[in-house]
């Protein structure tokens, strides 16, 4: 294997997994760790990746593949996911948008539950395929590859016929002053539309998203009826939300 070829391989793996580990690479390629480290150093010097202790990360976290994010910190998310799943009641029509957390929620839905799930996330639809009693409706549109959801006019249009009981709002940033915000304009429009056609709105908020803001605003916090977060979070951080009358659940 040529040197240049190996470096491309490293970049490919990095793009696929969202992470590379020097030691593991050296074993896979049957080379010394020194060589791998030199590669990583040079690639970092070219600005093609970000060097970290033990391996490397993509330059921008955004390019990290969706699949890899599905694996990271599965334990913490499942507590939130279980709590969120239990909020779905028999016979309801529930909107799910994308995100790894929401997929976890879908997997945690009781096998006895009869409900209709409407989603713009193809992987979430696939995850529900083996559920015996849930009817899945997929919203069409452009596939936004970064977060694996459909977006755009077609998706908005399809939503116009929907009246949902519950909206499971996937990861986005929450901030007392800014409100609900997200990183993509199309996603922001879509989330806003989903909020508009749902009776209740549940936000799944892992701690790193609370009191942060993103470029595109979905709407004010007052749109939320529930926030589900981890139990480790402090009271004062949650106070601005609670004072708005939002029900806080610590999972």
* Residue 128 contact partner, candidates DNA, its own copies, none, CB within 5 to 8 A by sort of partner: its own copies
Q: How far is CA 97 from CA 90, 102, 155, 168, in A?
A: 20, 7, 11, 7
Determine how many CB atoms are found less than 10 A away from the CB of residue 126. 13
According to the binding rule CB under 7 A, does residue 55 interact with DNA? yes
Tell me which of 32, 71, 212, 222 binds DNA, using CB under 7 A: 32
| Closest to its own copies by CB, 162 or 217 | 162
CB 136 within 8 Å of CB 119? yes
Radius of gyration of the chain, Cα coordinates, nearest whole angstrom = 20
Binders in 145-164 for its own copies, by CB under 8 A: 145, 148, 150, 154-155, 158
CB 137 within 8 Å of CB 118? yes
Tracing tokens 């007052």 back to the chain, one arrives at 222
Q: How far is CA 149 from CA 89, 129, 130, 139, in A?
A: 25, 17, 20, 9
| Closest to its own copies by CB, 138 or 178 | 138
- Which residues are bridge partners to 247 per DSSP? 226
What the block records as the tokens of 154 is 């077609």
Tell me which of 6, 175, 192, 250 binds DNA, using CB under 7 A: 6
| Closest to its own copies by CB, 48 or 248 | 48
According to the binding rule CB under 7 A, does residue 61 interact with DNA? no
Tracing tokens 């986005």 back to the chain, one arrives at 172
Q: Least distance (Å) from DNA to the CB of residue 48?
A: 15
What the block records as the tokens of 86 is 């239990």
Residues at the contact surface with DNA, assessed by CB under 7 A:
3, 6, 21-23, 30-35, 37-39, 41, 51-55
Residues at the contact surface with its own copies, assessed by CB under 8 A:
1-5, 8-9, 12, 15-16, 18-19, 21, 50, 52-55, 57, 61, 64-66, 68-69, 122-123, 125-126, 128-130, 135-143, 145, 148, 150, 154-155, 158
């Amino acid at each position: 294997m040529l040197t240049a070829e190996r470096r491309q391989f490293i970049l490919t793996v990095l793009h696929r997994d969202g992470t590379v580990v020097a030691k593991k690479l050296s074993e896979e390629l049957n080379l010394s760790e020194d060589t791998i480290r030199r590669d990583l150093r040079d690639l970092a010097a070219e600005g093609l990746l970000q060097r970290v202790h033990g391996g490397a990360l993509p330059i921008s976290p955004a390019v990290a593949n969706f699949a890899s994010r599905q694996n990271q910190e599965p334990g913490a998310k499942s507590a939130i996911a279980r709590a969120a799943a239990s909020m779905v009641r028999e016979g309801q029509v529930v909107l799910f948008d994308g995100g790894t957390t929401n997929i976890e929620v879908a997997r945690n839905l009781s096998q006895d539950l009869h409900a209709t799930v409407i989603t713009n996330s193809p992987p979430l639809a696939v995850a529900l395929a083996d559920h015996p009693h849930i009817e899945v409706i997929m919203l069409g549109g452009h596939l936004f590859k970064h977060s694996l959801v459909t977006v755009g006019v077609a998706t908005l249009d399809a939503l116009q016929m929907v009246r949902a009981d519950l909206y499971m709002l996937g990861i986005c940033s929450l901030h007392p002053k800014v409100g609900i915000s997200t990183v993509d304009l199309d996603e922001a429009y879509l989330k806003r539309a989903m909020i508009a056609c749902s009776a209740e709105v549940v936000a799944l908020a892992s701690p790193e998203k609370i009191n942060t803001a993103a470029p595109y605003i979905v709407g004010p916090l007052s749109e939320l009826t529930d926030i589900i977060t981890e139990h480790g979070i402090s009271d004062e951080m949650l106070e601005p939300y609670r004072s708005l009358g939002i029900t806080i659940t610590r999972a």
